[in-house]
Structure 1
């Protein structure tokens, strides 16, 4: 006769032994996959995270898809990774959908009275955000050294506990940290190349400096000056949507243009921005440190994307400062093809330039090196 296993619901507090009986996983570690239970159990310890320079928890700011829970990947020192033994837990989170496993989140709350046995509160089941499964972030570790960590963006799947004590603390001040050039993986998209010719191209307007170049995707940012870099692992996304395709186009476009800038001898990276009073971390797409140019990339040249890019770049550029350059950076929207003439008129009003990729793959725009 098989002993019955106690049901654990969101909000329940249990020991890891009790959790393992219900959901499997290992007795130690922060990311604990279980094949038998089709689960990847994620354990968060607020005290450990704060000492290591990060917070796990709910963002206070929800988007159009609802709430997001940020969970920092495995690896206590140095840059985190998806590779090798050190990256096995992070790979388990990234591939949970294709391996038919759900993500279950637990946060440490204390100890069993009279013992050293830790207790954990169950928050519920989650899945990776399909549009932006994770970001890279620069943090200061326990030893004071800067490092890059993976921050997974989790969406609730069913009933979850959304308690006030699990919300990430708001930033106490506004910062846009600049750090030395450092390779930081930025991929969050499928690795097969996205073509730039899938969208109809409007009649292109030739502007000053209309000499093209070659092309490419997206830098993960940190309030720090970081370096975008492609990550070659395929990501399983449950539904292929038009938005997902546009995001992949944006990533490929940004990576191509980043490669062009570096071929021209420019130093590239991104900015990670924290705004006082907010829990979320803003990130730019691409920054040319040599010429002090901030780029916002979009996967299409549609009116909606251009207007969104305009708002984003006007917002982000307020915070981007460089000791080598005076004032705010030059602002450029990076597109897969030329926008319509009236969009140029709009962008001219706000002193925002355009760089786009021509039919032959060259980059066109007055600021293209």
Structure 2
């Protein structure tokens, strides 16, 4: 087929497939007859799942691969996109507009030096999984309103206010309806208020490691005493093991190195308190009367 989409061109998806072929449901739609791969992007879907989608600071388009549940793999549509040059297929990105049409962002090709990045994100069930974020280089001109994402290294370590932090959590809470995240947030807010009444300066911290495209958040940082705190609603072994790993991961991004603490919704078993103490990690828990107790007291 000689006809190729023009950047900025918009049409209903049904018309697009009638013209070029390809699967009408897939996010990565292969049109073998036309020699094209069409990538579809929905801003509402992108916002809900927290997926990177748009041009980064280098002009590379970050596009999250196919697969809504479980770890994404380089199979089917993802593999077809990765190997599109070998199959002589041109790649076009289409972005959904409010009225339901899709507008062509432009033509792209997979970056040869670094075709994709693997990162963490939530799936359709709210479970954490590994996703594939393709790095696509523009071929020719793009639509004037091509979307942009921010991956600046300035995000690598910054504190931000409670209002912004809660706003950033809304998406995650919506994805984790079946989890204890709501309780963990409530616990964090209550402990923060407790520390602030004592005159401590508390922040939530967003961290973006080099090479990642999606930041993660440390629950609380007591800047007065330099203590990094991870919140877990349930004091189970699994929850505390997860908290320990998170704290050790987060700690390397702070200077000076902070002390570590786990905050739980009730007192853990003594064996779990001893586990944390063996690594000099403080355990703080909420008592039934609303006060907080520390294993270091």
TM range (shorter): 0.5 to 0.7
Q: Any residues of structure 2 matched to 1:276-355 within 5 Å, and which?
A: 276-321=210-255, 327-355=256-284
Q: Any residues of structure 2 matched to 1:1-369 within 5 Å, and which?
A: 15-19=8-12, 41-42=42-43, 46-47=54-55, 50=57, 57-58=63-64, 65-67=70-72, 108-109=105-106, 129=124, 131=126, 163-165=134-136, 176-179=156-159, 182-187=161-166, 241=178, 244=179, 246-321=180-255, 327-365=256-294
1:215-271 Cα shifts (integer Å, max 9, x gaps): xxxx86xxxxxxxxxx7x9x766x953xx2x12211111111111122222211122
1:281 CA displacement? 1.9
Count of equivalent residues: 211
CA distance in 1, matches of 2:102, 2:263: 38
* Counterpart contact for 2:162–2:204, Cα < 8 Å: no
* Counterpart contact for 1:355–1:364, Cα < 8 Å: yes
Q: Alpha carbons of 1:343 and 1:13: their partners in 2 closer, same or farther (altered >3 Å)? A: farther
Between Structure 1 and Structure 2, the one with more helix by share is 2
CA distance in 2, matches of 1:162, 1:178: 24
1:176 CA displacement? 3.8
1:279 CA displacement? 3.2
Between Structure 1 and Structure 2, the one with more strand by share is 2
* Counterpart contact for 2:57–2:152, Cα < 8 Å: no
CA distance in 2, matches of 1:248, 1:104: 36
Compute the RMSD of aligned alpha carbons: 5.0
1:119-172 Cα shifts (integer Å, max 9, x gaps): xxxxxxxx985538xxxxxxxxxxxxxxxxxxxx9999xxxx975528x99x89
* Counterpart contact for 2:63–2:134, Cα < 8 Å: no
CA distance in 2, matches of 1:292, 1:63: 39
- The SS at the match of 2:43 is strand
CA distance in 2, matches of 1:298, 1:353: 13
CA distance in 2, matches of 1:294, 1:249: 19
Q: Where does the alignment leave 5 or more consecutive residues of structure 2 unmatched?
A: 17-40, 47-52, 74-97, 109-121, 138-147
Q: TM-score, normalised by structure 2?
A: 0.54
* Counterpart contact for 2:226–2:258, Cα < 8 Å: yes
